[in-house]
Structure 1
């Protein structure tokens, strides 16, 4: 190993005492390998078996906590006890090389477009029509809000039963928890809406109750993480700023969880700068890291596609999360460890089959190409593979 990358292979210890042997995590990515009902399939198993040594901490794609949470069509579910056998197999495959397995739990809220096709309804914090959705959003009643919180807790219980090493509560990427935090999507006038403290309460309460369950179950070594998109800004309109997120992050960290996971998007996103507020122009992850001040670990994701980018990211975080990199080259961590970082390869044209990507994976391609570092040949090839196999879905109007 090139000695300058030694910091990437230092041990990390979470608040609960669990240790990672390196600073590498595999970011949560939806790859559409499950059944339409969210059940684990052989494709899910093979996908994670192929990447079981890609990082010390592997985080699953978003697993819905409710049947009304189908945003992607073929993503994971963790809302029925009948799913436990498959989830157990999934956890086993993720842990097969001795690394830690995390199940990311989420409710997509208004983004549950497949749910609307199936059930004719999607839920969000408030009833409204928005111009970027072709269906209405139905606001949750106070009773339903409590039911959703309970669904997160039950999902965490199933993750324990399935043998996962932890859960990540998905409060990012415009899904339900973020929708509650956003002034744009949360128009409630009860205890879950209005001022910032009320809008933050939904994510805080979910985290608090999940932690209480873990304590009650006696799982001292069960990892709890929370993912957040640090800003929601559309031009001059803010759903919330980094200043608001710092309030929420501070409250979540006070609960004693094991990590905060910062979700950022675009070129060199891991060192994106705040667009508004008291920290405008400052590196977001650096500000968050300073706020946490060792109380809990910070995981950062966003355009980390090389050994040098991974090393640079550690200036602002404790753990680096690889996304597209482990899709296209599952050996990236091992190559860096072996001093073979020059052989990292994102061109899949001659090795697509051995990557064990699920058959519906091409539907998710737009999310992979946010940074422009994956070769266009890779995207062209994957599209060709899908069309050649006459798959049900096409990539028309997906802006790839």
Structure 2
């Protein structure tokens, strides 16, 4: 089943293996993707779907240094040869729109980050000079909330203009959309805070607005129900995401993408609720375990339609072939995940009898 084709919205995928979005910290200081990015993604175009690394929708929404952007003409032009390279290699690629919200820092982009509430995340953020304590974000006004919804829409339009097949809205891992969903980061008393229905409002409005702008069949959404990464705390993920999914179901989105952050019971409930295609990423952020074929089989049996693989795609550009033919997987070099440059980026070979030691 993992190697069967499937339709997502209006596009046909050659298999159900998804390359998960993975930050690689190789863009320029002005948010331009590396010149090697086209080759990096084209090497991995045998995936049924590639979801790009997180792309900043605005300078203020940039979460870390050297994250690519898609909010000006130069950045849009820089993505066109990348999407063309993937298409020429027979692949499909969605742009992940990642608004950092409070996961940002003035020393990274010169701007105070925005948040659902004026509550700093616990922990530190990576910067080229070391790690910095998170700062207190600006609590967004109603007007700023509407402005940020437009930011998502504008970036989605640019993504389509740049040749992406669609967009994935990053609502997981403690970034802006989840900051509205989570109890501890959202202490608002207006219509965007308080009850689960109110905390779900921003996510639903972003997805709806982007769907209206580029077509729902080109829009996916990623969630990490109950996930704790970046200081999140959702006290009732089953109830919260029931509200979210019931609101999103009628839109006819391309897919829902979830990380395995909730219990089996909650995930089974969400699978039962969701009426569209489901992508599951069985690995957790910063865990030592990588998603593998056994995880894929387990989730396909539980009702997932596609499986997202992350770190093994870094070191195995031909991961689909290796999974299909039960070939040995190369282990990635963790030291080069975020090191910049081409080492550990485009120099992993395809499988051969001597390539894996």
Q: Distance in 1 between matches of 2:332 and 2:116?
A: 42
Segments of structure 2 that go 5 or more residues without pairing to the other structure are 124-132, 284-289, 345-357
The answer on whether the counterparts of 1:32 and 1:75 sit within 8 Å (CA) in structure 2 is yes
Who is 2:117 aligned against? 126
Q: Distance in 2 between matches of 1:138 and 1:25?
A: 35
Q: For residue 189 of structure 1, report the CA deviation from its aligned partner.
A: 1.7
Q: Distance in 2 between matches of 1:68 and 1:356?
A: 21
What pairs with 1:70-109 in structure 2 (closer than 5 Å)?
70-109=62-101
Q: Residues 47, 223 of structure 1: CA spacing in aligned structure 2 closer, same or farther, 3 A cutoff? A: same
1:336 to 315, 319, 323: 323
Q: Deviation string for 1:143-174 (max 9, x for gaps)?
A: 11111000100011001101110000111110
Q: Distance in 2 between matches of 1:230 and 1:143?
A: 28
- The normalised TM-score by structure 2 is 0.84
Who is 2:32 aligned against? 39
1:290 to 272, 287, 291: 272
Residues matched between the structures, number:
328
Q: For residue 312 of structure 1, report the CA deviation from its aligned partner.
A: 2.0
Q: For residue 12 of structure 1, report the CA deviation from its aligned partner.
A: 1.2
Segments of structure 1 that go 5 or more residues without pairing to the other structure are 1-6, 266-272, 275-281, 363-400
The answer on whether the counterparts of 1:10 and 1:21 sit within 8 Å (CA) in structure 2 is yes
The question of 1:308 aligning with 2:308 is answered no
The question of 1:326 aligning with 2:313 is answered yes
Q: Residues 237, 36 of structure 1: CA spacing in aligned structure 2 closer, same or farther, 3 A cutoff? A: closer
Q: For residue 309 of structure 1, report the CA deviation from its aligned partner.
A: 2.6
- The normalised TM-score by structure 1 is 0.75
Q: Distance in 2 between matches of 1:356 and 1:202?
A: 31
Structure with larger Rg: 1
Q: Deviation string for 1:270-309 (max 9, x for gaps)?
A: xxx52xxxxxxx34433322212xx210100023643333
1:12 to 1, 6, 12: 6
2:226 to 226, 231, 234: 231
Three-state SS of the structure 2 residue aligned to 1:226 is strand
Query: What root-mean-square deviation, in Å, do the aligned CA atoms of Structure 1 and Structure 2 show?
Result: 2.8
Q: Residues 233, 347 of structure 1: CA spacing in aligned structure 2 closer, same or farther, 3 A cutoff? A: closer
Q: Distance in 2 between matches of 1:301 and 1:41?
A: 26
Q: Residues 130, 327 of structure 1: CA spacing in aligned structure 2 closer, same or farther, 3 A cutoff? A: closer
1:258 to 234, 237, 254: 254
Who is 2:129 aligned against? none
Q: For residue 19 of structure 1, report the CA deviation from its aligned partner.
A: 1.8
Q: For residue 356 of structure 1, report the CA deviation from its aligned partner.
A: 12
